[in-house]
Structure 1
Amino acid sequence: MSSTGPGSRAFRERLLAREPMIGTFMKVPATQNTEILGLEGFDFVVLDEEHAPWTRGTLDSALLAARAYGTAGIVRIARPDANSILSVLDDGAAGIMVPHVDTAQKAREVVSWARYLGGTRGSGASRGGEYGTRGADNYRLSDAAATVICMIEDRRALDEIDEIAAVDGLDAIFLGRADLALSLRNTVGPVPSIEDAVERIVAAANRAGKPVSAVVQSMQSDEARWLRGLGITAMMVASDIGLLRQAARNALHAFNTLMKPSE
């Protein structure tokens, strides 16, 4: 596939239009994996600062690699605060994925930190603003491109899911199903199943007109087909490490089959 994809500038537009897009989590703090996935035609990657050893410097390099190879670079930030959001957007991230958004107030704060107009994002002439070349249009163009995705992964979030989904400026919801299942398991008293909780979240997003994203380990799984049936179009598959493991496992199986003695 071509390496000259639409990249970060069109990601938010395509997400909101519910175009089918494929992405993955990036756990290895380097540029090469992002470059390869861009070359192969992945629409986006999520640099996982929350669960992997990314730094400001490695994030900056990988976001540049994403831009160079036509894939949108999103950052799952480690700390849901104004400085973290500012730094990755200044470095040229196409958007942010914010973990553990469990109230509408938190969602409103995240949106404010990511927006110039009507928000509280600090002004800077960096890669995210094309190094000052946009002039008076910078605030409007930056706000139009910066994607805000909130992760729903706590039992508490279910109590406010309609209010969270309806927050103006929140672009999409990501289903944090692993942590949500753990949160439900740790809750005292009756709780919905993870399947019921997911369907409840998706229904709230649909009512608010917001797209939903999720990750699966295989696009050929029943899980993927179930999520697709719920209307999810921004689908992620595993991670760079997970894809490496899958490829290694397949290669090992092929090797063992090839080397098996003839009977």
Structure 2
Amino acid sequence: MTRDLKSLLVSETTHIGTWTQIAAPEMVDLIGLNGFEFTIIDCQHGPFGIETAENLARAADANDIAVALRVARNDPVEIMKALDAGIRHVVVPNVETAEQAGQAVAATRFGPHGLRGACPCCRSGGHFIRNWEDYVIAEETRTGAIALVETAEGHRNIGAICTTPGLSALMVGPFDLAVSMGLNGNWRDRAVIEAAKDMLQAAKDAGLPAIMPVFAPSKTECAELIAEWRSYGVSCFVIGSDKIIVAEAFAAWSSVLTAQTKAGSATSP
């Protein structure tokens, strides 16, 4: 585990990652081998659990890309399992209040300062921690919670959320935000864009790093959105997902080959 998401979050350089929703370490290999710097393993919408996520994290480590895990809910046990598996950051969905953000942070910290369960035999510590005191000190500095704010209620409380002590970063969820606002997932709607800008500005004002998902299937539109969000202090971008990128590649190949096949058939005697 060499590359760390925390160092990317505080960098002023643009960093590109994606979502991992396909339960295959080979897919994480391809993400790393093709220039992405981090991935977020999706245990909320991905059809797998922590056993699979741990192996996906091993692939991320092997390819020297940073990794986080989106837990299914703001639950101390789920967060503990992710951290014990050696995944240093968790993305906590549907954070709507500062209290919920504080609960997520507490789940990443050992007692007496937090709620994280303690076990000396886990992957994050090499499966048998001989010096527990040093391990705890190291974990406290390298692990963290990222608040995924994706509802109108979260938008209303964004100032308090962003000033939650110990929070590692804010992530805006534009698709769910558009659903919450009654816009049927239309993340391009001006009201959604403005709400996202409000949230990013609140993070910037609080000195909190931000991560922005970019779903645009067009590479040109994606680049334009990255440039726009950069002006709000964002350095880390989650581009599409492994499924979106693979589906686009399949579609590009099939459309070209189908067109060529039809053209060849039309000219055949």
Q: State if a TM-score over 0.5 links the two structures.
A: yes
Gaps of at least 5 residues in structure 2 are 184-189
Q: What amino acid maps onto 1:128 in structure 2?
A: S
Shifted more, 103-112 versus 212-221: the winner is: 212-221
Q: What SS class does the counterpart of residue 47 from structure 1 fall into? A: strand
Q: What is the match of residue 211 of structure 1?
A: 209
Residue 235 (structure 2) pairs with residue 233 (structure 1): yes
| Mapped contact 2:204–2:233 kept (Cα < 8 A) | no
Q: What is the match of residue 189 of structure 1?
A: none
- Aligned residue-pair number: 252
Q: Taking structure 1 as reference, are residues 60 and 173 closer, same or farther at Cα in structure 2, changes over 3 Å only? A: same
Gaps of at least 5 residues in structure 1 are 187-191
Q: What is the match of residue 201 of structure 1?
A: 199
- Equivalent positions of 1:1-263 (< 5 A) are 6-7=2-3, 10-116=4-110, 118-125=113-120, 126-131=122-127, 132=129, 135-185=132-182, 193-218=191-216, 219-221=219-221, 222-259=224-261, 260-261=263-264
Q: Taking structure 1 as reference, are residues 19 and 138 closer, same or farther at Cα in structure 2, changes over 3 Å only? A: farther
Query: What per-residue deviation string (whole Å, max 9, x for no partner) do you get for residues 212-261 of structure 1?
Result: 11121345314333223333210111111111111111212332454434
CA apart distance, 1:135: 4.0
Q: What amino acid maps onto 1:156 in structure 2?
A: E
Shifted more, 119-128 versus 201-210: the winner is: 119-128
Q: What SS class does the counterpart of residue 185 from structure 1 fall into? A: coil
CA distance in 2, matches of 1:18, 1:99: 25
- 4+ residue runs of structure 1 moved beyond 6 angstroms? none
Query: What per-residue deviation string (whole Å, max 9, x for no partner) do you get for residues 41-68 of structure 1?
Result: 3211111111121112111211122112
Q: What amino acid maps onto 1:183 in structure 2?
A: S
CA distance in 2, matches of 1:144, 1:88: 16
Superposition RMSD on alpha carbons, in Å?
A: 2.1
CA apart distance, 1:105: 0.3
Shifted more, 225-234 versus 140-149: the winner is: 225-234
TM-score, scaled to structure 2:
0.86
Q: What SS class does the counterpart of residue 51 from structure 1 fall into? A: coil
Q: Taking structure 1 as reference, are residues 258 and 94 closer, same or farther at Cα in structure 2, changes over 3 Å only? A: farther
Query: What per-residue deviation string (whole Å, max 9, x for no partner) do you get for residues 14-40 of structure 1?
Result: 212344221111111221111221222
| Mapped contact 1:18–1:211 kept (Cα < 8 A) | no
CA apart distance, 1:134: 5.2
CA distance in 2, matches of 1:47, 1:149: 13
Q: Taking structure 1 as reference, are residues 94 and 220 closer, same or farther at Cα in structure 2, changes over 3 Å only? A: farther
Q: What amino acid maps onto 2:125 in structure 1?
A: G
Q: Taking structure 1 as reference, are residues 240 and 133 closer, same or farther at Cα in structure 2, changes over 3 Å only? A: farther
| Mapped contact 1:24–1:236 kept (Cα < 8 A) | yes
CA apart distance, 1:167: 0.6
Q: What SS class does the counterpart of residue 73 from structure 1 fall into? A: strand
TM-score, scaled to structure 1:
0.88
| Mapped contact 2:21–2:42 kept (Cα < 8 A) | yes
